[in-house]
Amino acid sequence: MNLTAEGATVRYPGAVADALADADLTLAAGELVAVVGPNGGGKTTLIRALLNLAPLARGSVALDGRPIQEWRRGELARIVALVPQREDTPFSWRVEEIVGFGRYARRGPLEAMGPDDTAAVERALTRCDVAEFRERRIETLSGGEWQRVRIARALAQEPRLLVLDEPTASLDLGHEMELFELVRRLVAEGLAALVVTHDLNLAARYADRMLLLDGGRIAASGSPETVLQAELLSRVFRWPVAVMPLVDGPPQVLALRPGQDHPRYS
């Protein structure tokens, strides 16, 4: 699995500026890349560009050597699973049905689901800790539970690249950590993962590489240490921050209150 972008540029119709400009990126199996940046910086647009959900004005994106535009949706869904930021549906689906949708890409429209499909759904339900909800209707789920169900659906696709857009938005601390632990485990097993997140610190602790997007451009990319620079972050997020190195880990970011100086810690 190899996803590369070169100079990818997206401009939405009627917009005055590019939503994404000259983005270069490579993703390979076994790594977790976190995409961070301020709101409106182009993070979701990057995902759309990578998955052919938005047309490229300039540049190119290729998956396993083939231009992304040449991939049929079904083919693509067997390799890449996306969990979009927001999703709502008017119908009262059961959790099991939603996760089952992840298998549609592997079966023709009239082909029945087989035992390996059932097994994949089971695995996905268990890994995302939603197996006990399988009969529940989605409108009875909390925001976090709905999130986990959608991730289970993505896992049911048995993808080689997992793309998550703000997956921890509605999750509590415990579930947040569980989610990132899960993704880390999957990456260790050989999956590639691209995670858009607003949580700089979690990103730093779990990601192999980070990408900082600002105004549609990549402002920094590389290891967490490279990307998390106080001056750069303060400028990009328009708020003063301090970056504190952990003794046995990546740096952590602390936003400063007005008048506050670099914090002291024991």
Q: Where along the sequence are the contacts to another protein (CB under 8 A)?
A: 13, 51, 53, 72-74, 76-78, 80-82, 84, 87-94, 97, 101-102, 104-105, 109-110, 153, 157
Which CB, 104 or 254, lies closer to another protein?
Answer: 104
128, 182 contact by CB (below 8 A): yes
To another protein, the closest distance from the beta carbon of 111 in angstroms equals 10
Q: How far is the CB of 105 from another protein (least distance, A)?
A: 3
Give the whole-angstrom CA distance, residue 250 versus residue 70: 39
CB of residue 86 to another protein, shortest distance in Å = 9
Query: 257 φ, ψ to 5°?
Result: -80, 155
Using only the alpha carbons of the chain, give its radius of gyration: 19
Instruction: Please say whether the dihedral angle defined by the alpha carbons of residues 57, 63, 65 and 67, taken in this order, is positive or negative.
Output: negative
Q: Which CB, 59 or 84, lies closer to another protein?
A: 84
Distances in Å between the Cα of 144 and the Cα atoms of 36, 44, 45, 75 are 21, 20, 24, 29
Question: Given the complex with another protein, which of 44 and 168 has the nearer CB atom?
Answer: 44
CB of 10 to another protein, least distance (A): 15
Closest CA to 251 of 223, 232, 231: 223
Which residue carries 């890994």 as its tokens?
A: 127
Kindly tell me which of 77 and 220 has the beta carbon lying closer to another protein. Answer: 77
Q: Which is nearer to another protein, 84 or 144 (CB)?
A: 84
Least distance between another protein and beta carbon 148 (Å):
15
